[in-house]
Amino acid sequence: MILGTLILGVAIGTMIDHSVSAARSAASASTPAPISVPSPTKLSSHFSTVAQKVEKAVVNISTETIVTRQSPPRRQFRNDPFQDFFERFFGPDMPRRRRRTQSLGSGFVVDAKGYILTNAHVVENADTITVKFHSGEEYEARVVGKDTKTDLAVIRVEAEEKLTAARLGDSDGMRQGDWVLAVGSPFGLEQTVTAGIISATGRKNMGDATPWQHFLQTDAAINRGNSGGPLVNMAGEVIGVNTAILTQPTFGGIGGNLGIGFALPSNLATNIYNQLIEHGKVKRGAIGIKMQAQVTSRTLKALGAADGKGVIVEKPDPPDGPAAKAGLEQGDVIVEVDGNKINDTYDMHRVLSTVAPGTTITLKYIRDGRLRTTQLTAMDREDLPSIARGGAPEEEEPSESVRLGISPQNLTPRLAKQFELSEEEGGVYVMRVEPDSIADEAGIEAHDLIMEINKTPTRTVDDVRELTSELKSGMNLLFLVKRWDRGAGEIITLFLTGTVP
């Protein structure tokens, strides 16, 4: 009996233990794990390590410019007894005043031989350039070369001490959200370090920025004086050159940081630096086309680009240039250059800016809905023709309106001359555009010259009437027009699209 009781007790105890273990396992599976807060000390220490890697390569740049201005004209009085005195000693004009202007910026050493990269606007028109290093040593610098299109410049010092060069990184590898540090001399405060992240990559079309510029955007604090300083990644590599900020006037009318700064990518800066070192200037390739600036995705789709991306060839220019020799024509849509996808004119400029003149490149373009491929040899952009144009086309008496919502006029000898056409080529001149009409919705403006509708030539007003008489609701229209561009000072060609209501 005792033995039986013991065996029964062991069995029951085992069953209870298994039950408790199972209950604990179930409870463990459903109970959330505690959240651990990362130590700020670890991140702070890493920032310090990165800053120490780059600080010796960062410099403060101060410039001085002597500006000579003629004093404002004196008020002259009849029978002025001092008039002869002033003219005898100063000439008929008043003395010219000389004043000194100073500016501050940043830069960083890219070669231990004394080569420094900075912004072109930091050293623009400077009579003297003084570079101050982390050690406190100061040296006079000279400009090796500068490129205003990308706002980059290379200067050089003859330093006695051994210089530390910054290491350049791959800006194409940066992603939105990556940590970065900005180093420079904001408001003249040397060796200032600020931290932030990459807010965006590939920023373009930034107001006055040229099409050759595209930026890394960061929220790391950048202020006046940071220009030309490095933006570095967490490996201590320079991945950008701090160039501009989006700001508003604050106290004293001086703009301050709003958390939106822009840096030129290091890959672009490297290309510009190498050319400035070799040639003293930047040579950019060109394929010899005029690109349509104003374009919509709908127009691109109408020309055969299914995704609404690409660059429309306004015309090959010059007529004997690389594009013309390769067979490109007006209305072709370029979608790829040397394996680089072309979404817009900024992409086209960006890719061509890295192509040296004389290089053979491969283009893919769409014509009549078909993808085609051609090769051409890039020419030097400086060799592109620059043709001075006359004044804007003059108005003629309008004809009666047509269904498009325009007041059309046949091409006259005077208009043909102004548009650089022969009367045989024809075209329909637009005198007025009715608000909310088909033409207005398509973007046609007064003084445009309509050359084609749906790829059918419109040589006269009667041609337009005949074409528009067959329009049906919902039909898409593709217009080819010529326009006087006041900004460019020349006649441009545009493809525009509209829909019949």
> Domain boundaries in the chain?
171-279, 285-383, 406-499
What kind of fold does domain 171-279 have according to CATH? Thrombin, subunit H (2.40.10)
What kind of fold does domain 406-499 have according to CATH? Pdz3 Domain (2.30.42)
Domain range 285-383, CATH architecture = Roll (2.30)
pLDDT at position 302 is: 92
Which are the catalytic amino acids? 121, 151, 227
pLDDT at position 76 is: 44
Round to whole Å and give the CA distance between 128 and 64.
Answer: 5
User: What are phi and psi for residue 126, nearest 5 degrees?
Assistant: -75, 135
Round to whole Å and give the CA distance between 105 and 375.
Answer: 44
Round to whole Å and give the CA distance between 352 and 287.
Answer: 8
Same-fold call for 285-383 versus 406-499: yes
| Residue 300 parent element (H or E) | helix 297-302
DSSP state string for 212-268: T--EEEE-S---TT-TT-EEE-TTS-EEEEEEEE---B-GGG-B---S-EEEEEHHH
Q: Residue 112 has what DSSP assignment? A: T
376 Cβ neighbours under 8 A, 6+ residues apart: 287, 322, 323, 325, 326, 360, 361, 363
User: Whole-structure pTM over 0.75, yes or no?
Assistant: no
Q: What stretches in the chain show pLDDT beneath 70? A: 1-30, 36-43, 67-103, 205-210, 247-257, 385-402, 487-488
pLDDT at position 160 is: 83
pLDDT at position 67 is: 58
Tell me the residue type at 488.
A
Q: Are 400 and 468 in contact (CB under 8 A)?
A: no
187 is written with which tokens? 């408001």
Return the ∠ at Cα 394 (arms to 390 and 398), rounded to 5°: 155
Residue with tokens 């005043």: 97
